[in-house]
Amino acid sequence: MSEPKVINHYFYDEAAYDYHDGGYVPLEEPKTPGKPLNIPEILKPDQETATDMYYTIVAQTGEVQLMPGEKTKTWGYNAPLLGKTVVFKKGKTIHLHLVNHLPEVTTFHWHGLAIPGPIEDGGCHAPVYPGESRDVAFKIDQPAAFVWLHAHPCPSTAEQVWHGLAAGAIVQDDHESSLPLPRNYGVDDIPVILQDRRFHENNQWNYREDYDPDGVAGPTPMINGTINPYFDVTTQKVRLRFLDGANRREFRLHFSDDLEFTQIAGDLSLLPHPVKMTKLLITCAERQEIIVDFGKYKPGDVVTLYSDDVPLLRFRIHEFQPDTTVLPETLFETPDPAVDKDLPVHHVTLDGMDEAVAMNGKKFKMDRIDYKMPMGKVQLWDICNTNPAPGMIHPYHMHGTAFKVVSRNGHAPYPNELGLKDTVAINPGEHVVIKVWFHVSGVFMYHCHIIEHEDGGMMAQLQVIDPANPDKKYHLMNHMTLMKAFAEERHVPMDQLWLGGMDSYKKMGEEM
């Protein structure tokens, strides 16, 4: 059955939506006065040449006036909360000076960048300890996209993201720049980082009190680090770059009046063709870019973005010039390399819920390689969510590469996932086949991006072998190295250390 010209449903199995979960925390409309949407500043390079870009990225503590009363203690990148937006230009070599001004160990993971691992990628094997720094360099060789930076120290990834360590980054290329798309950052090109929080005494966040092994959630929507935001619309068309930066929550997005919008991009590329929609579901770590045309509204009108029936962001309409720009029917040609016949289909299972989460029946070990794959080869991976219905939707993510979604239970992918992706949401009982290839070598993680699930062990590790250096060895840390660092930095003995993911291993009788 072909899709309607305007898609008016969310694609996924309603029985698996997060609001059916016993631990679900419903969103509530904030009662606080509206505030202008925070638009993260663009981070200025320390230096830029024709071939190279240099940045200093600082993980820091801060305080932000999120609610009336006391300021909330937060963490961020070059900012008190979330971070400044980093720009990467295709073809340039990026030099990063990564600085940790936090009270504990962290890492700097570039979610969506196809760069070597495990150090440049910034997963759990690339720690930066308090007061210390790390320098990395890599070349950008991928299409234009909205990617992001977040902390990834096992098993405290979820808690550090909850503190605020999540920031957007934009990859630019000549092809995207040649298209008639909004790209005046902060005016008609807006990052929209979707999160949620619970405010405790004195407006503080309390991760341990809110902890749920199936994902921490709060009732208050937080958009770009703003509570109850509005955006002043001064152009007829606005590009919204959505990132679901929540630990657990799915967002089912729609506008007041069922306003139609056009999706133009997903995680790691433009879509082949624009997709007209009135409803969009985005799961943890996914990015979806849309263009909204406010042409039928007049100054003084307000258009509201909702998740389910809860307002997230109000668009206040001002005067604007008419915009008759027409999107091309073709935006991008998604790479589709032939599968290597000598590589069998690789099967991955996302297993369990709560503390019982695992991947292929095993919990993650930092010093274990679960699979090896040759660089430059193309392989089909069959990813199965083994939760019985109704179960949970698991967002599956791979480091270090972009993949192509081939099929869902033998049927065509959804129309808005035909570009390159790094995260794909999978219904309970569903098999999603993806086409995987790497053009960089190293050690990379793949996991569920409900962040408490990855901390709890629904994660595995892949080594991509460079045929020019097949015997290269990697030093892989173990969990205990990082946990000892956390205990020392928190000034507690090991037997009193609490990190959310540790519970999932302990309660299943496993060592980390």
The CATH 2.60.40.420 domain(s) of the chain lie at 21-177, 189-317, 346-481
Q: What percentage of the chain reaches a pLDDT higher than 70?
A: 99
CATH tag, 346-481: 2.60.40.420
pLDDT value, residue 503: 87
Q: Are 109 and 150 in contact (CB under 8 A)?
A: yes
pLDDT, tens digit, for every residue of 482-507?
999 999 999 999 999 999 999 899 99
Whole-model pTM over 0.85: yes
pLDDT value, residue 252: 98
Look at domain 189-317 and name its CATH class.
mainly beta
- Phi, psi angles (nearest 5°) of residue 477: -70, 165
DSSP string, 162-215: HHT-EEEEEEE-HHHHTS-----BTTTEEEEEEEEE---GGG---HHHH--TT-
Architecture of domain 21-177: Sandwich (2.60)
Mean pLDDT of 300-310: 98
pLDDT, tens digit, for every residue of 331-355?
999 999 999 999 999 999 999 999 9
Three-class secondary structure of residue 364 per DSSP: coil
Work out the pLDDT band at 205, boundaries 50, 70, 90: very high
Mean pLDDT of 123-147: 98
Asked if pLDDT for residue 1 goes beyond 90, the answer is: no
pLDDT, tens digit, for every residue of 10-52?
999 999 999 999 899 999 999 999 999 999 999 999 999 999 9
pLDDT, tens digit, for every residue of 375-404?
999 999 999 999 998 899 999 999 999 999
Q: What percentage of the chain reaches a pLDDT higher than 90?
A: 97
